[in-house]
Amino acid sequence: MANSYKKITLENGLRVITVPAESANSVTVLILVGAGSKYETKDINGISHFLEHMFFKGTKKRPTTLSISETLDSVGGEYNAFTSKEVTGFWAKVDKRHADVALDWISDIFLNSQFDEKEMEREKGVIIEEVNMYLDTPTAYIGDLWEGLLYGDQPAGWRVIGEKENISSFTKEQVINYYKSHYSSSNVIICMAGGMKSEEMEEKVKMYFKDIEKNSEGEKLKVIEKQSEPEILLHYKKTDQTHFCLGVRAYDLFDERRSALALLSVILGGNMSSRLFIKVRERNGLAYSIHTSVDNATDVGYLVTQAGIDHKNLEKSVQLILEEYKDLRDNKITEKELQKAKDYIKGATSLSLDSSDNQATFYGLQELLEKNILTPEEKFEKIDAVTVDDIKKVAEDIFALEKLNLAVIGPYEEAESEKIKKLLKF
């Protein structure tokens, strides 16, 4: 698969990445900002996400939420935004004939939002209901509890969405100050992908984003990790299922062992023929959904297995997962199993890059977080270079007792914590 991209840096520091695919019918414009909850302090935790919402509340040219949403709805476009611990993103995907509509729209909300106080007050209610939705959705909330267990009371351990008290108290001054200190041209990447030529994309980005400001950039504190024994977190809730995350601390984005870790994750629980899917679901009938994934941030990382099971099956499920962790640590996988995982990652990546939005994300996120871009072929070379011995070394390193963590949502009292903690053993 031939994927070409081009990167330029404008005089104001704005980085522009173009990924042409002239046969594609769509064009995606993606804006990525180096801002997220890791850049916040405790008193403004949640403001990155709150600010993301405020970009859709009105500009001088499009003064209402209706006029903002109608612009792309009227051409059948797709659009949204997201906030994570380290990134805030805005995107619009349209038929390539409407590329100018998307560029005009996304540059307008990004550069000219009014941050109206009445809209702010209304949006507080919306976001508080979003908080309530997550709290009522254990499959989503368990991930927040898991990261809270790993990182505690520091930005990496706080929820991206923030707490209700903070959300209710945000002022226009706080929002504008945060915007000015993080939304700087040198901290922003514009990535365009799809059915256009690179030169055409570049000229359009230059035109639509010529007024972006250059400010000082906000900083984030380095995450502190400390753990000397297995840790658990029990969140009491009357649920029909027990939801849990069981995993270990692992590697950051810059660690050379990342490729081996990704393959290890696929082997464990990355697809429907993975070890844990077969063992926990197919052979024991304990879970409908079980999967293992990896998270690599700029300074920390982890591997985690998540599942929802009957309350009475928590002990057995944890034991079965730990058996597979231990087996990978103590025994080598086969060449056949490794090759299957390699082919899975390469195939899934290739399929995803058929769409312009995934192309933009693939290149843009690398540039923002790593300041270095690898093509799919270069990433595949790293995957292909991983050996059976590499997998064994990673498993020996991460599947250590003192790196093990378990977060649980279900009807469990604190008195049961010691009993559950005793499950964490290899």
Catalytic site residues? 52
Q: Pairing between strand 15-20 and 78-83? A: unpaired
Q: Pairing between strand 15-20 and 188-194? A: parallel
Say if residues 420 and 149 touch (Cβ distance below 8 Å): no
CB atoms closer than 10 angstroms to residue 69: 14
**Which residue do the tokens 């995934």 mark?**
358
Q: Pairing between strand 287-296 and 188-194? A: unpaired
Backbone angles phi, psi at 65, to 5 degrees: -65, -35
Helix axes 258-269, 335-352, angle to 10 degrees: 100
